Structure 1
Amino acid sequence: MAGPRTQADEAREAAVEDALARLDLDAKTRLLSGQDMWSLPALPGIGLRPLVMSDGPIGVRGVRWTADDPSVALPSPTALAASWDPALAHRAGVLLAQEARRKGVHVLLAPTVNLHRSPLGGRHFEAYSEDPRLTGLIGAGYVRGVQSGGVGTTVKHFVANDAETDRFTVDNTVGERALRELYLAPFEIIVDEARPWGVMTAYNSVNGTTMTEHHHLVDEVLRGEWGFDGFNVSDWTAARTTAGAIEGGLDAAMPGPHTVYGEALARAVRDGEVAEARVDDAVRNVLRLAARVGILPGAEPAVTDLPEPVDGRALAREIARRSFVLVRNRDGVLPLPPQGTVALIGAAARDARVLGGGSATVFPADVVSPLDGLTAALPEGALSYAVGADPNTELATADKGFELRAVCRDAAGEVIGTGSAPSGHLQWMGSDLPDGVTHEALHTVELTGTFTPRESGPHTFGIKGMGAFRLTVDGTTYYDDVQLPAKDDPFISFFGAPVPRAQAELTAGHPVEVSLTHGVEFPEGTTMKVVGFTLCHQEPARDPDELIAEAVEAARGASTAVVVVATTERVESEGYDRTDLALPGRQDDLVRAVAAVNPRTVVVVNSGSPVELPWREEVAAVLLSWFPGQEGGAALAEVLTGVHEPGGRLPTTWGPLADAPVTEVVPADGRLPYTEGVFIGYRAWEKAGRTPSYPFGHGLGYTDWTYESAEVTGTTVRVRVRNSGAREGREVVQVYLAPAEPDAERPARWLAGFAAVTAAPGERAEAVIELPRRAFEVWDEPSGSWTCVKGSYEIQVGRSIADRRVTATINV
């Protein structure tokens, strides 16, 4: 399916073959094994430089987990998908390529195109949508953008990595039809439309075979049927066996230096367990990537003319406001009137959560909170603020008020190096160590500095991580012992629960010394040397009823109340799934109390994926802001005040967990059956006959639209709409395909295409949507092929899956 090779491709291929011919077996197998946490090794014999990879997908961290080299932090992938704009995703990719080049990175470990199979998926903020076509088109735009900047991508996690529970070991059993029509579909679209230079295979197994050894899906489907010619890298530590991985189509095993490749692979070839030709195939794929990114001598890079520089902050702000989804706006309460006062309420309004937890984390130079944004946008005296309720019901990473640094010492207690600490979370993976520090010499790491409280009272401090720790606050040592994990998980230090270890009475504005010292140990045979632990903190726990009462009084006296509610890192993060969709803490109580005294209550929902909104009919407006990136507060102010309209549409159905048709994410006996088949997301809601809180595709702007006609010529749909409101706006025209004769084995309707138009008041616009052949096909399991289902289809065009305005008919 991927396009034919160009003359430049053929020239690079010749350079790859020339380089391959000059490598012996040991050099070849060494190239396929990570030399450290983030790179494949240099091969001086052919002039090859190290190939450097870095986490994404909303920014480029680089090879060190540090704030010394800040990264632009864009809105979450769910936000980008909510724009329904592949061109905007392309621009995001261009910016990230620019960031990657600045940081010396050749390959971005993104995008994540797994599906929102169940709303309980804890990492869904990092994926795009429940719909494979929307996911594939946004992902293709992103990949094209990154690679237009000469930087590779790894589309991940191939495949069916749709939940976090037992992700290292789970065997997801998926029917062939669902696998093809849903879970493989976004990867197929991206391979076809964007020719990605890499994929990342997942931790999980599919139908009994771990993905790093899945010959059928990698070699036969991805490479064979689709024509993918990029490299296949394992998720970190996912590669299980030497012969199984190379025979299954895995090119590179990460991280290093100890993997199932390298010396082990060379030995397997010499012992006759693996054919050297299999190694050569993998080496070709890695060398082809090196040629494309410009680090293989004799090969012209795939990109020689780089895109124009991008203003990262401006683009982050634009994506945020284009992603905000206004799902309710009673009586046009938004935008805010030019005059009047605003009571801003919620801990998340002051301490915004702008990105999700886990490997998606980057460190922006600064963050604009909702409080910052509205303070700058509104006239002096128009804004008041009250905490109201704090979503953090347990300790969070030490952040506001802390000024920390990391001090490294050897066994004799001598300082051997220091590093920055942007927060209480310290994470050094592989060669991330500060200058002059080695794993062999490192004995202890101390996070030390000052903490200046914002409030007086008993402050709680704690530790996330495992091993020996000593915690001292204001001269008193509160803990000096070994903290053991509750379960055996290699990432427990990052994703485990914090443990309270100290409580100190502190005074607002008076700084105190804090210190958390960790004894570093690397067990024998450790393949991935990581130093990771977190100093955690919680402010004095005030009476929740008292905080809500203060917010109610602020709201009572204001023209409009804006309440910001949020999830926390313990709710949405890589590493674990959710157990419910409720907002943490007393936030639901807060919203109801505020709405009871102010009919103009606007709720801003700061979450990366769906949460329950039990009060949604009691408030005037609900605006979903996702994780909005570093400029989120500025974008929010622009949308609330009407400088820009909210541009987003839902990429995923929102509804209460009790009504959600697909909820199982916990394996039984190591297996997680996808028993729902092709019915996930809106397909499942419609099949179950249930009405969600807000349907897929829903979203309001600040103007109205009239759908006038839909005409079909061949497989091209032309839709005429008119802006029937009072201001300029943007509309996302959505086309759904519904078979005229219902079939219980197929959804009632499905997204076939979409396009956005803009128009001034009274102006007409035409959206042109091309229907892909695949929209009319199903995977026929007996024949093992795609089959066009002939017959009559109704083309249903509208504003969401539930708001269909005009129709037409097509016969195939």
Structure 2
Amino acid sequence: MSEHLITSRPVGDRNLPDSTDPSFDDLVARLSLEQKVRLLTGADFWALYDEPAVGLRRMVTSDGPAGVRGELWDERDTSANLPSPTALAATWDDALMTEVGHLLAAEARRKGVDVVLAPTVNLHRSPYGGRHFECFSEDPVLTARVGASIVRAMQADGVAATVKHFVANDSESDRLTVDMRIDERTLREVYLAPFEVIVRDAGAWAVMAAYNGVNGTTMTESPLLREVLQEEWGFDGVTMSDWYAARSTEAAGAGGLDLAMPGPTGPWNAALVDAVGDGRVPETTVDDKVRRLLRLAHRVGALEPGTSVPLVAGSAEETHALVRRIAAAGFVMLRNARVGGAPALPVDAADIRRVAVLGPNAHPGRTLGGGSAFVFPDREISPVDGLREAFGAGDVVYAEGVRSHHRIGIADSAHLTVPDSGAQGVRIRFLGHDGQVLATDERSGTAYNWNNAFAAGVVPAELGAIEITTVLTAPVSGEHHVGASGLGRFRMLLDGVVAFDELLVLPAGADPVEGLMRPPQRGAVVPLEAGDTLEVTVVRTITDHVPGADLLVSLQLNLDLPYAGDDAAIDEAVELARSADLAVVVVGTNEEVESEGFDRESLDLPGRQDELVRRVAAANPRTVVVVNAGAPVLMPWRDEVAAVLLSWFPGQEFGHALADLLTGVTEPGGRLPTTWPADEAAALPSTRPVDGRLAYEEGLHVGYRRFLRDGVEPAYWFGHGLGFTSWAYEGVDVVAGADAEARVSVRNTGDRPGRELVQVYVAREGSAVERPVRWLASYAWVSAEPGESVTVEVPVLARAFEHWDAAAGRWTVEPGDFEVQIGRSAGDVVLTATVTR
């Protein structure tokens, strides 16, 4: 046995402004008021205006939480599809997040993007939050460290990160107008905390102001932008609005908002020029906004004389390998029971003759969430694909098992051909108001989003309709469901016969983004024999539309193949499982229940997936369940199966990463970044506003803190996760100073090399102020060979012992003893020590 020392450091020094900044005052002085104000609204949906008078080129923004999309939002411009932010946070790995940041920056540079609209550092306040998957964690410390690592790496490569959504945009219900009611201490210690670290310590170059209000003021007009973000934290970058969140001329113009997105319309422009002329908005305030914008341009190389970091982009194969490794590092093994005298996982591929891969998410699988996080990857490896590569195609059988969606799915272009050409895909014609053809395109994809432009030669004002035509060849006999989704006037013709012609609209009160993620749809059932063909034409009329819908024209061609029903599908899956040596059931959520634009109504797996799991487990004792969800789901069968792996939305290499974990090529690297409830019996924090307000009644007790306060045992605690070996925690010493340091000794007591996450919590019994039972302070990974003892030094920053004194308006320390607790999760403390502050 041996012993060695590992030193772990949290996020480092702030990325300070360049000492070579040009004189922005001189540049601002060259511009007229009209020129300055013009720069403060976007030029189009994604880009900012250029300004030759100061050597400013056009700057481009792009969504980017799980991959950098770029200006084109379709399959023609693919992006590396990274695991969802919940999966990234599940790695608890600052060094790996640095690699993520560099990959995002390389993707941005490759696509001509200067400003990436990520990371999202809102918190998992409630598991019902529809955008849960796009946020890192329920804990501010973990969120801050993961986010800071990504931001530093991106900006080191000359690409701006935009930390969002400032602040308390933690759910989707009425998010455009809801007023979040949060006491000042909770706001400071929980929801502002990750922004503070990433802005002040990691030096973020941009921040996005949220749609919602906080304590009575909408965020694009909030004094928090000026008083806290800029003045207290010293933020010298650009604060931009979420898209269409800037709603006023004077209040937003006189405040801390610098950039209204998108453009060219908005509340500023000529109205802001007039407000300055009338003395309602000081011109010095406009000058400060322009100065910040120019500083951002200088940092990303958009201001003459241009400077840029050399682009070092890996090959497609290198990118695939990195995404695969990141995905595996985020998988959380929740359970690994013994089967036949040994743990169910890993399996020896040589001992497995037949694998049954089952479930609605087994093929193609859900690799990413909807909304701002959605990109088009160059490939997607489903669980079926990955396991066939690992075990041999002839040894892996597949069945859907059950259908979990109610909508008609996006059409698989493998069954579609372009009329007259025979190429795979569809023909798109852009038609003028009188029906003339303005342009023709061929596409292999069947989901379409046009925002800045349609096709070469098409002037948006002249566009009257978009026509999509394809020939469906039935792969099997039975009832085919054919349809279309979107907002506006739709007409669908099947072999020239009108199937429907109507205006598709969202339900009253729906979020506009629901029109992209869960749009209204209409369809028809068509009986076809295998090999039959059907010409399908969908016409979306532009001149007869929902007001405002044409700011972004989005539509889908939909197709579901024949389905015998859940009973028959479950029976088929059970028979395959019974004949297999290993059953892998992939269950999860889908875009109907988990997406930007709406919150969840239940934590149940959709459809009859629970029944599928139970029946397969009864048929095969070596049943491994893979939960493909971005947020917690209920798992009433969790103690009835051999193993449970949580994949989150793991990115485009889903199947490869899964195969690596099942076969032991890679140890499951993840630990839970959020607590998973056992049921919904104990009321969970609501996301539903009452009279326009959402009260954060739980205060400081978010996530695991609430479970600890209430004495409720969850299914799995924050920080929980298993590996392929076992560990003994042997001792802890705490060295006090301005910051403390916990020296923790652990030993690998198993027979395999492994990694263990050492988690450091702080507690204060008998405190004079309200506190959580315990709260995360720091963490570090250790690696060890079998029998090896390792000591890791884990810094605990002074802030971990401080609380916000609302009356004094400052951070303070309550003198006395604090307990430093070493845990394997928030519910499993194994060592303690005392430190006096």
TM-score interval (norm. to shorter) = over 0.9
> 1:689-728 residue pairs with structure 2 within 5 A?
689-714=711-736, 715-728=740-753
CA distance in 1, matches of 2:170, 2:596: 11
Structure 1 residue 483 displacement after superposition: 2.4
Q: CA deviation at 1:656?
A: 3.6
Task: Give the 5 Å matches for 1:202-601.
Answer: 202-215=210-223, 217-298=224-305, 301=307, 304=309, 309=314, 311-331=318-338, 332-338=343-349, 339-340=351-352, 341-399=354-412, 401=414, 402=416, 403-419=425-441, 421=443, 423-429=445-451, 431-487=452-508, 489-508=511-530, 510-521=532-543, 529-601=551-623
C-alpha displacement of 1:192: 2.5
Q: Return closer, same or farther for 1:790/1:556 CA change in 2, 3 Å cut-off.
A: same
Q: Which moved more, 1:179-188 or 1:656-665?
A: 656-665
In the alignment, structure 1 residue 774 sits paired with structure 2 residue 799: yes
Equivalences for residues 655-666 of structure 1 within 5 A: 655-659=677-681, 661-666=683-688
- Report the CA distance shift for 1:440/1:666 in structure 2 as closer, same or farther (over 3 A): same
Is residue 486–residue 515 contact of structure 2 (8 Å, CA) maintained in 1?
yes
Distance of 2:58 and 2:533 partners within structure 1? 45
Instruction: State the SS of the aligned residue for 2:680.
Output: helix
Aligned to 2:5: none
Q: Is the 8 A contact 1:149 1:307 kept in 2?
A: no
Tell me the CA shift for residue 456 of structure 1.
Answer: 2.5
TM-score (norm 1): 0.96
2:54 to 26, 29, 46: 46
What residue in structure 1 maps to residue 817 of structure 2? 792
Alignment correspondent of 2:759: 734
Question: Any stretches of 5+ residues in structure 1 without a counterpart?
Answer: none
More displaced stretch, 252-261 vs 412-421: 412-421
Q: Summarize the Cα distance change of 1:524–1:265 in structure 2 as closer, same or farther, 3 Å threshold.
A: farther
- Give the 3 Å change call, closer, same or farther, for CA 438–512 of structure 1 in structure 2: same
Secondary structure of the residue that 2:24 maps to in structure 1?
Answer: helix
- Could you give the per-residue CA deviations for residues 136-188 of structure 1, whole angstroms, max 9, x where no partner exists? 10000110111111100110000000000111110111110110011000101
Give the match's secondary structure for 1:432: coil
The aligned residue for residue 420 of structure 2 is none
Q: Distance in 2 between matches of 1:442 and 1:660?
A: 54
Counterpart position of 1:607: 629
CA deviations on 1:41-71 (whole Å, 9 max, x unpaired) are 0111122101110111111111111211211
SS of 2:361's equivalent? helix
Q: Any idea what the Cα deviations from partners look like across 1:763-798, whole Å, max 9, x if unmatched?
A: 222222111111111111111211112221221112
Q: Match of 2:4? A: none
User: In structure 2, the residue corresponding to 1:336 is in which secondary structure?
Assistant: coil
C-alpha separation in 1, matches of 2:50 and 2:549:
20
Q: 1:11 maps to which residue?
A: 20
The one-letter code matched in structure 2 to 1:570 is E
Question: Which among 710, 732, 736 is matched to residue 688 of structure 1?
Answer: 710
| 1:766 partner amino acid | T
How far does residue 381 in structure 1 lie from its aligned partner after superposition? Answer: 3.4
Q: Does 1:154 align with 2:167?
A: no
Q: Does structure 2 retain, via aligned residues, the 8 Å contact 1:581–1:656?
A: no
Task: State the one-letter code of the partner of 1:498.
Answer: P
- SS of the counterpart of 1:277? helix
- Please report how far the alpha carbon of residue 533 of structure 1 lies from its aligned counterpart in structure 2 after TM superposition: 2.2
Deviates more, 1:781-790 or 1:76-85: 781-790
Alignment of 1:115-154 (within 5 A): 115-154=123-162
Match of 2:836 in 1: 811
Q: Which amino acid aligns with 2:254?
A: E
State the shift of 1:513 in Å.
2.6
Residue 252 of structure 1, CA deviation: 0.4
Structure 2 unaligned runs (5+)? 1-10, 417-424
Task: Name the TM-score, length of structure 2 as normaliser.
Answer: 0.93
- Structure 1 distance, partners of 2:101, 2:605, is 32
Letter in 1 for 2:49: P
1:61-210 to structure 2, matched below 5 A, reads 61-210=69-218
Identity of aligned residues (%): 50
Question: C-alpha displacement at 1:2, in angstroms?
Answer: 11
Shift of 1:722: 1.4
Amino acid at match of 2:608: R
Are the counterparts in 2 of residues 659 and 690 from structure 1 also a CA contact under 8 Å? Answer: no
**Structure 1 SS opposite 2:639:** helix
Q: Which residue identity does 2:412 align to in structure 1? A: D
Amino acid at match of 1:591: V
AA paired with 2:253? I
- Counterpart Cα distance in 1 of 2:332 and 2:590: 20
In structure 2, the CA distance between the partners of 1:517 and 1:525, relative to structure 1 (3 Å rule), is: closer
More off after superposition, 518-527 vs 769-778 = 518-527
Is 1:752 aligned to 2:765, yes or no?
Answer: no
Say which SS state the counterpart of residue 765 (structure 1) adopts: strand
- Equivalent residue letter for 1:735: V
Once the two structures are TM-superposed, the CA of residue 9 in structure 1 deviates from its matched residue by: 2.1
- 1:659 to 1:226, Cα distance in 2 relative to 1, 3 A: farther
Which amino acid in the other structure matches residue 470 of structure 1?
R
Structure-1 separation of matches of 2:155 and 2:49? 22
Contact 1:655/1:692, CA 8 A, preserved across alignment: yes
After TM superposition, give the deviation of residue 455 of structure 1 in Å. Answer: 3.7
Task: Give the match's secondary structure for 1:666.
Answer: coil
Q: How many residues align?
A: 806
- Sort the Cα spacing of 1:174 and 1:381 in 2 relative to 1 into closer, same or farther, 3 A: same
Q: Is the 1:255–1:528 Cα contact (8 Å) retained in structure 2?
A: no
Structure 2 CA distance for aligned equivalents of residues 462 and 525 of structure 1: 23
